[in-house]
A and B are shown apart, each in its own frame.
Chain A
Amino acid sequence: MSIIRPFRADDLFRFNNINLNIWTETYGLGFYFNYLSRWPDMCCAAQHPNGRLMGYVLGKAEGSPHDFHGHVTALSVAPEYRRLSLARILMNFLETASDDVYGGLFVDLYVRCTNSIAIDLYEGLGYSVYRRVREYYGSLGLGPGGKDEEDAFDMRKPMSKDMYRRSVRPNGRDVIVSAHDVS
């Protein structure tokens, strides 16, 4: 029972229940408006019929012509609406847009190496680790998880255009690059 609709500027007034947790960053206005003014068709919100926001995904299409792809920038679901497959629905939206609208070869995302719940979710959705990015979350410093806490997995899922699955590889966890190489 969720309304799937475009993410709108005024959702910034109502996303507190989603954003008031340590894993979801609340950025400056420019961050959200940059996505809305460039890739509004890659931004989607899930809303309860009672009006409360449940979750959202923000993404973009980027890359050079030979690796043009969709990118998941932010995906977050409020704790009270977890276990309703909302993440799956929102990811599905973004993949469809990447595939149908932008003709992307793949969709990629970054996830903290320690975030095993999220990694499991993405693997369940068909994503695999393409490479490990060293110190991607370096600004937070080393937490109890050591290097895993500041390193990210760059995970990818091939889209229909990548018929031969050239955008993914089986041994991605062993391929280590520095943060400079990916930004």
Chain B
Amino acid sequence: MSSLTLERQIRPIYDALDSGSHKSALVTCNKLLKKHPKNDHLKALKALALTRAQKFEEAIVLCEEVLATKPTDDGIINALMHALRHLGRFADLVKLFEDAFKQQPDNDEFGRQAFFANVRAGNWKAAQLLANKLNKQFRNDRYVFWGITCTFLQANDPLTAPEMRDILLKLAHRLITACWKQVEVHPDRLYLHTSILQQLGLYEDARELLGTESGRFFCARNLSCDHLRREIMKAGGWQMEEGGIAEQRIVEKRDRNWLEFVSILDATFLPSTLHQSNLPDLAQRVAKTRDLFLKVSEQDGSHDRTAQLALMELEKLSVVHEVPSEPSRLLNLLKHYFEVLGDKAACYEDLRSYIDLGSEELHDWITLIEKTTHTPSSGIALRRSINAHKLLRYVLSATQLTVDQEGIRATDLVREYFEALPLGKDLPKLELQPADDLAILAAQVYVNMFVLDNAMAHLHNAVVILEYASKKSPQSYQIHLELVRIYRLLGAPQLALDHYRLLNVKQVQNDTMSYFILSRATNFSLAASGDLAYVSECLESSHIYFSNSQETSEFIVKSFNMEKYSQIHELVVFEERLDNSLQRDLVKIEHVRLRISHEPVSSELVDMELIELKFIFDRLHHDNRDLEVLPNYQPRGQPSFLSQTTLFGKEPAGGWLSIFLKIYIKVLSGASDLDLSVEDDKLLVGDRPRQSYNPDAKKPLMERLAVQSADELSELTEDEVALFHYVTDLTNWLDPFHNFLRPRGEATKLPPKNGHSSHDGASADGHGRKPDDAPHISEPPDSILSYFKNAYAKFTRAVTASRPIYEILHIATLAQEALLLFSICTKRFKDASIVRIHKLGMLVQHIKTLRASAIDAVRDIGTQLIKISELEGTSDKRKQFVENCIALQTHAEITHEYVLDVGKKLTESQRKVMEGVGRGIERVCKTPM
């Protein structure tokens, strides 16, 4: 058959792949491969079709086969490139293009692709060498800059040794200086050059560079270059000069960028002249700056608030630098701001950091704010009133924070909320209501009351008003988020999840926001009883990490191609931050915890999770969670709304993750046949994840697993700490037996097919072990059994004391988890032949006894949960809820039926979670282990 005919036959495969018909592409590939079994193009296309059909293992085999032929044909290379990218095998991509380039050194496309492949894999050194090679071969300025950028990136790579950093930066400097006069300058090249000088501390050179004609031209037109210029001027000590430039920009160009005002303040409080002897000079400068800001502020009036705030900043800094000033000045500025700009929504946030007044001034300030009328006659009056509420609340003293006084405040806010609602009655449904903040504030007051006296009734009031507000203003994320926090405290996870889903959190927001719902998800999940809502939420929120590893490096490549050097380092850092996200792995652990509660624990599950958790354990994490998204209106000095609504007052972070990783690695490694010192690449689809810079990761794993710091443990609840100690004792007891029975050496990777060795007659089990070598069987530590007894006792006490539902669920779900971990840990000893050969009968007897007692305790917890769940969702509970919210029903809008409906949903959700967890526990106890 001619190549032309084959080409014609291959075309439909491309069409099928383009249109997403992977199956049809596969069928055609298979058909043609029967006729042309050695055709690499067909194999590469089949590999691509297989990756698209998620059949990764088959695809990898084919990819490796084609890769070994070192292809240079464009069609083969393209198909293979797409397949490898999809598989995340960046190291193979490097090999593919480097081999092609070696064979065809005149092909600059192969050279560029080899460079890009190294960029994708973060191999800066190799990429730099390739860029040099490309430049030598094809002479192009961009290759010079690619090489310099890679040297710069290598210097900034946390994995680069500190002593190399300077050498690399100096190399980058030498290279860029050598070419600078011969190349065309554009903003991103200037940015790169200046960044190198900045990192080397060569500020004088950087200033000179930015002071050239082209430097000035680009700084005036490019924010990135100008930003760098500001940093250089500050680092080099040229604040006075920069202050002059800023003044010019403010006065002549009417620039109101806050950074210009900061430059003037920097010049005013220049560190080198802060010595006592220079004080008059400083005082004069302060006065001069004040005059300037005053003039600008008068000019701007209510149009722009920057100068007014700069005046406050000046007063604040004057106090810090002990410049004599009138105490009333800051007060007058605050008053003036509130008078002129008090109707701006940003007023509270703008002023908050400046309300640091003496007692007399503070009294004056409060008196002024208290004069604000709270009659919402217009949008402006309403915003002013809301700001007054926030500002007054901010300065409340601890003695003013009693339940009674807070109750009056909450009532006032709710009353005003209903009075103000008509202002937004004609707005489209999707617009925010101007009165929203009053409901949000009221809810924060109710939460504070709950913190003061632990009465759930306050939270009931909060959800009634917030639910009402969320119907009026369905797009207010703040209302939904407050409800999420409060429903979790009330033990109504389904309602929390419902509100969270209304936010339509997607893409990268999953990384920064999912903690709202997935933090300690195991506490509320009904996975064990078959409801996988939280499991799927874990999986959905984790897609972004796959997108990151697939997409971000492509845009790093694109930035090289477009010569946007100002973006490359930031994209590299972004990719690293998202890849090593703390939230990613907190969700991962929650997912594993949920997974074992509803999936049969196969050896594949054990091995795969173990490998992944070990990678995670080596990571240095970045906390990307957005802890600022929810505004805090609690008084200064008091815990924030976010911390007040954190379950157990402890938000899981790095320490919590570390302990839970230790728990699971200990248990899974015991159960697994993998040798902890051996990494099994064969189980990985893509490349091994790039190691993040974690100095601790160099220590042996076993050593790191064995230690825990007080800081780590402080992030755990008492019950979680108990689980950790239980697992430690359990694994310490069983590990000698696991280690003894685990296949050794080669067998680690390739388990024996028949369980018998053909070459060692002396061995009883094919792994060189003799039954007599088995570790001594000791009694199990008492702590294992007492863990379950204690959990049961604590659970009973919590129920009797009517502790919050989330607390009761916490004890129950942890006890269930302990039982599941016990079952994973002891799975190996279920093989009767192994037990017989190694005479482990006594050990198995201990395990059986322990298991029976553990199941008894956990089953009783489940049964009791189901029983008490029947008390929730009853008319009595609903009646109680309605009574708790009786004060709110004085408003015509809050009818008895409405409150009853909210109460019904809440108590029903509480009933469901208790019953669901109880049923899950029953199922777990019944499942053969």
Chain A residues near B (Cβ < 8 Å): 1-6, 8-10, 12-14, 16-17, 19-23, 26-30, 33-34, 36-38, 40-41, 44, 48-52, 79-85, 89, 93, 96-97, 100-101, 144
**A–B complex contacts, Cβ < 8 Å, 9 sampled:** A1-B310, A16-B512, A17-B477, A20-B477, A29-B548, A34-B555, A49-B258, A79-B432, A80-B346
Are A16 and B258 within 8 A (Cβ)?
Answer: no
Q: A26-B507, A26-B509, A37-B558 are in contact. List 10 more A-B contacts (CB 8 A).
A: A3-B257, A4-B257, A5-B259, A27-B507, A29-B547, A30-B551, A51-B628, A80-B349, A81-B346, A84-B344
Docked Cα-Cα span, A80 to B430, in Å, equals 16
The answer to whether B507 and A28 touch across the interface, beta carbons within 8 angstroms, is yes
CA distance A36 to B555 in the complex (A): 9
**Residues of A contacting B356 in the complex (Cβ-Cβ under 8 angstroms):** none
Structural contact, B509 and A19, CB atoms closer than 8 A: yes
B257–A40 CB distance below 8 A = no
Q: A85 touching B551 by the CB < 8 A rule?
A: no
The CA of A92 and the CA of B631, in the complex, are separated in Å by 29
Which listed residue, A9, A36, A37, A50, touches B573 by the CB 8 Å rule? Answer: A9
Q: How far is B631's CA from A50's CA once the two chains are assembled, in angstroms?
A: 13
Using known A-B contacts A33-B555, A50-B353, determine if residue A83 contacts B306 with beta carbons closer than 8 Å. no
Segment touching A, from B95-103, B165-173, B221-229, B672-680: B221-229
Q: Which of A28, A33, A49, A85 has the most CB of B within 10 A?
A: A33
Contact of B562 among A1, A9, A38, A50 (CB under 8 A): A38
Do the beta carbons of A2 and B257 come within 8 Å of each other?
Answer: yes
Question: A14 to chain B: which residues have CB within 8 Å?
Answer: 512, 626, 628
Inside 8 A of B562's CB, which chain A residues have their CB? Answer: 37-38
Knowing A16-B512, A44-B223, say if A36 contacts B506 (CB, 8 Å). no
Q: Mark B523-548, 1 if CB is under 8 A from A, else 0.
A: 00000000000000000000010011
For B624, the chain A residues whose CB sits under 8 A away are 13
Asked if B430 and A13 sit within 8 Å, CB to CB, the answer is: no
B571, CB-defined interface residue at 8 Å: yes
A92 to chain B, nearest CB (A): 11
Q: Which of B350, B429, B571 contacts A33 (CB 8 A)?
A: B571
Residue of B nearest to A96 (CB): B221
Contact across chains for B224 and A6 when beta carbons are under 8 A apart: yes
Cβ of B40: which chain A residues have Cβ within 8 Å of it?
none
Complexed CA–CA distance, A79 and B305 (Å): 17
Enumerate chain B residues within 8 angstroms of A33, measured Cβ to Cβ: 551-552, 555, 558, 571
CA distance A37 to B551 in the complex (A): 13
Best-surrounded residue of A14, A30, A34 (most CB of chain B within 10 A): A30
Q: B259 touching A4 by the CB < 8 A rule?
A: yes
CA distance A96 to B253 in the complex (A): 13
Contact at A29–B552, with CB atoms within 8 Å? yes
B interface SS class: helix
In the complex, chain B residues whose CB is within 8 Å of the CB of A36: 555, 559, 564, 567, 570-571
For the complex, is B566 an interface residue (Cβ under 8 Å from A)? yes
The docked-state distance in angstroms from the alpha carbon of A23 to that of B344 is 22
From 450 to 493 in chain B, residues with beta carbon under 8 angstroms from any chain A beta carbon are: 475, 477
Q: A29-B548, A36-B555 are in contact. Are A82 and B508 (CB under 8 A)?
A: no
Does chain A have a CB within 8 A of B793?
Answer: no
- The answer to whether the Cβ of B503 comes within 8 Å of any Cβ in the partner chain is yes
Checking A19, A27, A44, A84 against B305 with a beta-carbon cut-off of 8 angstroms, the contacting residue is A84
**CB proximity of A73 to chain B, nearest CB, Å:** 16
User: Which residues in B have their C-beta under 8 angstroms from that of A79?
Assistant: 345, 432
Q: Smallest CB-CB separation from B304: which chain A residue? A: A85
Bound Cα distance A148, B310 (Å): 44
Contact of B223 among A2, A13, A41 (CB under 8 A): A41
Asked if B511 is at the interface (CB within 8 A of a chain A CB), the reply is yes
Residues of B close to A20: CB separation below 8 A: 477, 503, 509, 629
Whole-angstrom distance between the Cβ of B398 and the nearest chain A Cβ: 24
A1 proximity list for chain B (CB < 8 A): 258, 305-306, 309-310, 350
Partner of A22, one of B304, B475, B564, B628: B475
A89, B257: Cα distance in complex, Å = 9
Q: Which residues of B contact A84 (CB under 8 A)?
A: 305, 344, 346
Centre residue among B513, B544, B558 by max chain A CB count within 10 A: B558
Chain B minimum-CB-distance residue to A8:
B570
A41 adjacent to B224 (CB under 8 Å): yes
A12 contacts B350, C-beta separation under 8 Å? no
A101 to chain B, nearest CB (A): 5
Q: Are B567 and A101 in contact (CB under 8 A)?
A: no
Known contacts A3-B257, A4-B257, A33-B551; is-contact A9 B567 (Cβ 8 Å)? yes
Contact between B187 and A41 (Cβ–Cβ < 8 Å)? Answer: yes
In the docked arrangement, what's the CA distance between A26 and B429, Å? 21
Do B508 and A12 touch (CB < 8 A)? yes
Contacts of B221 in A (CB 8 A): 41, 96-97, 100-101
Q: Distance (Å) between the CB of B216 and the closest chain A CB? A: 14
Q: Is the CB of A40 within 8 A of B353?
A: no
Q: Which of B224, B430, B548, B629 contacts A40 (CB 8 A)?
A: B224
With a cutoff of 8 Å between Cβ atoms, the chain B residues found around residue A10 in the complex are 570, 573-574, 577
A32 to B503, CA, bound (A): 21
A17 CA to B629 CA in the complex, in Å? Answer: 6
With a cutoff of 8 Å between Cβ atoms, the chain A residues found around residue B631 in the complex are 80
Whether A9 contacts B574 by the Cβ 8 Å rule is yes
B471, chain A: closest CB distance, angstroms: 16
By Cβ-Cβ distance, the 3 closest A-B pairs, closest first, are A33-B555, A20-B477, A9-B574
CA–CA, A9 to B63, complex, Å? Answer: 34
Query: Which residues 609-629 in B have Cβ within 8 Å of A in the complex?
Result: 624, 626, 628-629
Q: Is B303 an interface residue (CB 8 A)?
A: yes
Question: A37: which of B346, B567, B577 is its contact (CB, 8 Å)?
Answer: B567
